[in-house]
Amino acid sequence: MRMRVTAGLLATAAVLSTAVATGTAAQAKDRPCGRPSTTSGTTALGTTWTLKSMYDDDGTPPNRLVAGEEFEIATQAAGQHWSVVFTDNGKEFFRNDDDVSIATGIREVHPNPVGRVDPNHMAVHAEHKDAAGNVIEVIDGAVDLAPPPPRCAR
């Protein structure tokens, strides 16, 4: 009898711990500001890139709500010179005219304060330039974010 009770308690404990772990993972996926929007592509010269944008509540007060852009170029060579420009609804909020790659590429992450009722069109324009300043490759990417959910950054 004692053996059956112990086995039943262990089985119940296993089910509860699995439910707790699964619930935590589900909550991490359902962030208060929503999921990211992503796009990616490959240039004519074979360089791959990814753009991700999402709302977050880690901005500077009084406007804690931001739409962040994360842009990666997999250059696979150090020393490439790129210009990178981020815009939100057509308005520039980040520029680096001489972004030099490391061996794994380029990664830029920047937030932009946003309002609570408007959608956001997050875009990136990047140009790879040779030593003379001539454009070798161009990347144009964009993602759209619906207005932020009411539960975000209250």
pLDDT in tens, 70-104: 999 999 789 999 999 999 999 999 999 999 999 99
Please state the pTM of the whole predicted model.
Answer: 0.77
Predicted local confidence at residue 117, as pLDDT: 87
> Is 14's pLDDT higher than 60?
no
CA dist 112 to 2, 59, 115, Å? Answer: 62, 8, 10
Q: What is the pLDDT of residues 15-47, one digit of tens each?
A: 333 333 434 344 345 667 888 999 999 999 999
Q: Which ranges of the chain does DSSP label H, i.e. alpha helix? A: 2-29
Q: What is the pLDDT of residues 97-149, one digit of tens each?
A: 999 999 999 999 999 999 888 899 999 999 999 999 999 999 999 999 999 88
**What's 4's DSSP letter?**
H
Predicted local confidence at residue 27, as pLDDT: 39
**Is the preceding omega at residue 150 within 30 degrees of 0, hence cis?**
no
Residue 74 tokens, joined: 């997999």
Predicted local confidence at residue 34, as pLDDT: 85
Name the CATH architecture for the domain at 37-145. Sandwich (2.60)
Predicted local confidence at residue 29, as pLDDT: 55
As a whole number of angstroms, the distance between CA 23 and CA 40 comes to 31
